[in-house]
Structure 1
Amino acid sequence: MKLRGLLTLAMAAQVIVTAAALLASYAVTGSAGFGTAQLIALLVSAAVAALLARLCTRAIETSEAKRAAAQSAALSQARSDSAQMTQAVIRTALDAFIQIDDSGVVLEWSLQAEALTGWTREEALGADVVDLIVAEPLRAAFRQRMARLVPELSAAPSGMRFEVSLIDRNGDHILTEASSTVLRVGERSIINTFVRDITHKRAAEEQLIQAQKMEAVGQLTGGIAHEFNNMLTVITGTIEILADAVKDNPPLATITKLISEAADRGAALTSSLLSFARKQALQPAEIDVNELIEELAKLLATFDKKVEIVTRLGGNVWLAYADRGQLSSALLNLAINARDAMLDDGKLTLTTRNVVFGVREAVAVGAGYAGDYVEIEIADTGTGIPRAILERIFDPFFSTKEVGKGTGLGLSMVFGFVKQSGGGIKVASEEGSGTVFTIYLPKAETSALRPTGYDDRKIVGGKETVLCVEDDRDVRRYVTVQLESLGYKVISAANAAEALAVSAEGTAFDLLFTDIVMAGGMNGRELAEQMVAARPSLRVLFTSGYAYDSLHTQGRATMAPLLRKPYRKAELARMLRRCLDTAVDSAGDAIPTPYSVQADVEAFLRRQAAEDNGTTRPRR
């Protein structure tokens, strides 16, 4: 608008000057013709026009120069702002930024790159990126890959994403995810790369995959163990009947003993399978792990005098909450494995301490939740575990021992027990440098009741009526025979529906003895809950070889005792009397009874008598 106004003003001035000059020439000459005076006037007008044109040209040039300068300044500011924004993005990005040319020379190195690799920006700029962050054996192949990278990036405008293993300043390996793009600057190619550390993410993914695999295998082994327990229940029970019948025939009695021992070994095997599958019904209580470790150390000292046993027990270590028997078995298993890994001699170190986990630490060791844990560490100086098989050591039936020297269930059982207890386990091993197993058990928050002694030698029956619910036909027949041999009246049902039908008919019975895991729409726990709701004073006894998940579901009837398969006649008789002899009121609640020490006194006297009979006391 200013330039247009200036030109308009100049043209108007030119018209005015020309008109004034002509009028002045006519006034001087007094003639209306065109003469010298008019010519002079036109020349003056032309001179003024030339002057105005010059002034306008200068004004236009000045205006254009200012506009060009303003545009240049704006462009420069935009470039500066863009550069600052780019630097801000690089500085605030969570990922490391590395810029190199096509020969691999570092042009830019962000703060995150410093944190990731340990190399400072001053050290990295101008250096060869391959020498900085690629392991020595891989550098030649990495340079060949970089030579092919520029053409590939040029053909991919959106860039490329790939995983690459790098090393930091200390030589530690870092698994990273890189996103690269290429920028042409004249004849040069500039490669911009954002690098993200995914080491912990990949470890978490692998841990999840391993956990899912172990869970799947656990479901399979748990189901198999359940079916075997049903068969073993029939075998172990009926062999007792057979043994009693042939006790006066030594050859047959020997055979029945062999069968019984084989059945016991089968029961132990299925117990290990259930422990791995985390389907074993545990009996957790407060445990002084330091006391347990001391007992274990004394036991191990008798195994092999060449192995040095060292205990490093932390002071004021918390009580752990776990099954004492299962923990003893797990620690003994780990200790024996450690001993076997030390061929000639070595040192086995048992350590305890308190640890407090946040969410991240708990996840890292596979613990159930953040909080307080008791740590138990078993370290040996043996041969170590090869990296190739380290991830498989907890798989069931996986063993590196010779055939016949191990079942492959030891570490599986340890893993299952720890996970079922709400704890975590980790292993660190390097071939030739020994192995360290670390177990984390939850801290005991409240005191747990400890079971009192019980005389299991007496087999006591009864006259009550028992409703027996079992979906396995052979087990049902066996249980019926055993219950009748104990004097009980038996009503049998093949499933929950039949049991409910018996109850609906008004048939009287004193105790519901039911399997937990049954085919059909209702399991034993749900059956018990429904029956107890209608008959509050009804006694309930559960049985299962696969009972953990069902028992640990909320419900009134889940407070009933559990008889684990396979069981023998004496165990069945004891559990039945435990249920039937407990006094309950009309609402089904236990009636408190005065505490008696009679059972403890009798047990003490029996032990004293056994000791007296087994030893000969010298006479004075």
Structure 2
Amino acid sequence: MALVPEPRHAGARRGGPHRRVVRHLDRHRRPGAGPRGAGPRPQQLEAQVAARTAELRRALESLRAEVEQREQAEANLRQMQKMEAVGQLTGGIAHDFNNMLQGIAGSLEIAQLRAAEGRTAEVLRYLEPARQALDRAAGLTRRLLAFARRQRLEPKPVDADALVAGMADLVRRTVGPSIRLELHLRDGRARVLCDSAELESALLNLCINARDAMPEGGRLTIGTEDVRFSAADLVGQEGAAPGDYVEISVTDTGNGMPTDVMERVFEPFFTTKPIGQGTGLGLSQVYGFVRQSGGVVRIESALGRGTTVRVRLPQHAQVHMVKEPDTAPVPNEAGPDQTVLLVDDEDVAREAAAERLRELGYRVLEAADGPAALHLLDGGARIDMLVTDVGLPNGMNGRQVAEAVRERRPGIPLLFITGYAGTELPPGSEVIDKPFELDTLARRVQAALARR
């Protein structure tokens, strides 16, 4: 008898329980998915990429907005700090200048009264304090220009060791007997190229600050050293070039400074001294002078550990230096029929200068601006020299006036006078800074005409 196999269970014929599980999973497969074992369809990938791109775009826009908000906040903070510094600067200038102007005004008023009363012997007694106040005002403007790196320097090769050694007696008298001065000089041959008078002033300012930091006495050390800086050492130091430098350090054993004070020490008119005991311009003047001279200034301090200020100036090849006379000679009388064209928009200043030149025998033509000066020349006036202020009104500055005059009178000697040379002058120009003594002007005019 033939055996016929029993038919299997229906579920078994279709794969049994395992097959049923697979069908269950198929029913729950994501819409649009391909067959089992296949990857996502192209349209699904595109949708996922688009969604992710949109998400990243939203994150990027959010980040940009956050950066813009932070930059705006930083800009607002910088503006606030700038306005605070401007307010401090203008307040300090107004305070100091008003004090000086009061001294000048009071002295001149008393001198005028004594002259009117016929007590002429007492007039000079009150004119001298007025002159002293004027000198202090001139010094204040120089310190401000030094901070702004706008003062006109007269750089010459300077032996830093000799300069420091030569200042030793002055520094000792300034700091007093309770502070011991020590000099640690490198005894090198290298020179620095800078304005020696401004370097002396900067070092004296540092010594005075050191003295004030040691009211109970202590030790003040001034040292010099040859140092070399690479480009990496000078990152962030605008105007300073890699190479060899001479470092002049001033170190005290005072109380030192906290970090918040160190961050502001170079700001003009910032001071921790009591009112009347400091202008707050000492360190800012040092900073401006050093940077304008192509150097770097560093300050190191900590509470209880004293302070060191390091002035670093570029080395310069040794050059023979001619010593200038200590006292200026009295200007000589003018040569026969020498005419000077004097251009200055400040009437009082121009008239006083013209009067002194006339006393010495010069013929002086006066003009308040460039067009007036050129009108004199175009009218046939003969001149032997031009003396002109740099900052002039009515469309022509001093340089433009000089160029126009030399077009009409080639080779004529020029002398610029200025309170602030914001205009760039030709290299090698003769310049005299206001305020100046009238005899200084006369000597410069005499020397220029003698070289003609």
SS in 1 for 2:227: strand
Distance 1:249 1:389, change over 3 A: same
1:292 paired to 2:166? no
| Partner of residue 406 from structure 2, selected from 518, 525, 532 | 532
Alignment of 1:181-580 (within 5 A): 249-302=120-173, 303-314=175-186, 316=188, 318-364=190-236, 366-372=237-243, 373-445=245-317, 447=319, 450=322, 452-453=324-325, 456-462=328-334, 463-547=337-421, 549-550=422-423, 553=424, 555=426, 558-580=427-449
The alpha carbon displacement at 1:221 in A equals 9.7
The alpha carbon displacement at 1:479 in A equals 2.3
Distance 1:255 1:311, change over 3 A: closer
Measure, in 2, the Cα distance between the counterparts of 1:359 and 1:243.
Answer: 64
How many residues align structurally? 397
8 Å contact kept, 1:310–1:347: yes
Distance 1:244 1:540, change over 3 A: farther
Distance 1:249 1:467, change over 3 A: same
8 Å contact kept, 2:191–2:318: no
SS in 1 for 2:140: helix
What amino acid sits opposite 2:398 in the alignment?
Answer: G
The alpha carbon displacement at 1:578 in A equals 1.2
The alpha carbon displacement at 1:454 in A equals 7.5
The alpha carbon displacement at 1:261 in A equals 2.5
RMSD after superposition: 5.0
Q: Structure 1 length normalisation: TM-score?
A: 0.54
Distance 1:541 1:554, change over 3 A: closer
Larger CA deviation: 405-414 vs 443-452: 443-452
Q: Percent identity between the aligned chains?
A: 33
Distance 1:378 1:453, change over 3 A: same
The alpha carbon displacement at 1:492 in A equals 1.3
8 Å contact kept, 1:362–1:370: yes
Measure, in 1, the Cα distance between the counterparts of 2:282 and 2:383.
Answer: 43
1:500-556 Cα shifts (integer Å, max 9, x gaps) = 232333321011000112234321123213322442320111111212x53xx363x
Measure, in 2, the Cα distance between the counterparts of 1:315 and 1:70.
Answer: 85
Measure, in 2, the Cα distance between the counterparts of 1:542 and 1:210.
Answer: 37
Q: Structure 2 length normalisation: TM-score?
A: 0.72
1:218-248 Cα shifts (integer Å, max 9, x gaps) = 999999999x99xx99x99xx99x9999999
What amino acid sits opposite 2:416 in the alignment?
Answer: F
8 Å contact kept, 1:465–1:489: yes
What amino acid sits opposite 1:352 in the alignment?
Answer: T
Measure, in 1, the Cα distance between the counterparts of 2:85 and 2:231.
Answer: 22
SS in 1 for 2:299: strand
8 Å contact kept, 2:181–2:220: yes
SS in 2 for 1:443: strand
The alpha carbon displacement at 1:446 in A equals 6.5
The alpha carbon displacement at 1:423 in A equals 1.5
8 Å contact kept, 1:542–1:561: yes
8 Å contact kept, 1:359–1:369: no
Aligned position for 1:608: none
Distance 1:222 1:323, change over 3 A: farther
The alpha carbon displacement at 1:393 in A equals 2.0
The alpha carbon displacement at 1:574 in A equals 0.9
The alpha carbon displacement at 1:413 in A equals 1.7
Distance 1:514 1:158, change over 3 A: closer
8 Å contact kept, 1:317–1:354: no
The alpha carbon displacement at 1:315 in A equals 5.1
What amino acid sits opposite 1:348 in the alignment?
Answer: L
Distance 1:439 1:473, change over 3 A: same
What amino acid sits opposite 2:362 in the alignment?
Answer: Y
Distance 1:209 1:414, change over 3 A: farther
Measure, in 1, the Cα distance between the counterparts of 2:377 and 2:162.
Answer: 50
What amino acid sits opposite 2:283 in the alignment?
Answer: L
What amino acid sits opposite 1:521 in the alignment?
Answer: G
Measure, in 1, the Cα distance between the counterparts of 2:96 and 2:385.
Answer: 27
**Structure 1: any 5+ residue segments left out of the alignment?**
1-35, 47-52, 55-66, 72-155, 162-201, 584-620
The alpha carbon displacement at 1:396 in A equals 2.4
Distance 1:314 1:216, change over 3 A: farther
SS in 1 for 2:435: coil
Aligned position for 2:69: none
Measure, in 2, the Cα distance between the counterparts of 1:269 and 1:493.
Answer: 29
What amino acid sits opposite 1:284 in the alignment?
Answer: P
SS in 2 for 1:426: strand
The alpha carbon displacement at 1:486 in A equals 2.2
Distance 1:378 1:447, change over 3 A: same
8 Å contact kept, 1:219–1:277: no
Measure, in 1, the Cα distance between the counterparts of 2:96 and 2:322.
Answer: 29
Measure, in 1, the Cα distance between the counterparts of 2:222 and 2:197.
Answer: 18
Measure, in 2, the Cα distance between the counterparts of 1:271 and 1:498.
Answer: 31
Alignment of 1:590-605 (within 5 A): none
Measure, in 1, the Cα distance between the counterparts of 2:224 and 2:78.
Answer: 25
What amino acid sits opposite 2:165 in the alignment?
Answer: E
The alpha carbon displacement at 1:449 in A equals 5.6
The alpha carbon displacement at 1:319 in A equals 1.1
What amino acid sits opposite 1:461 in the alignment?
Answer: E
8 Å contact kept, 2:190–2:318: no
The alpha carbon displacement at 1:258 in A equals 2.7
8 Å contact kept, 2:416–2:429: yes
SS in 2 for 1:559: coil
1:253-309 Cα shifts (integer Å, max 9, x gaps) = 212223223322322233323322323221111111122222233433344233232
8 Å contact kept, 1:286–1:320: yes
8 Å contact kept, 2:213–2:254: yes
The alpha carbon displacement at 1:435 in A equals 1.2
8 Å contact kept, 2:114–2:122: no
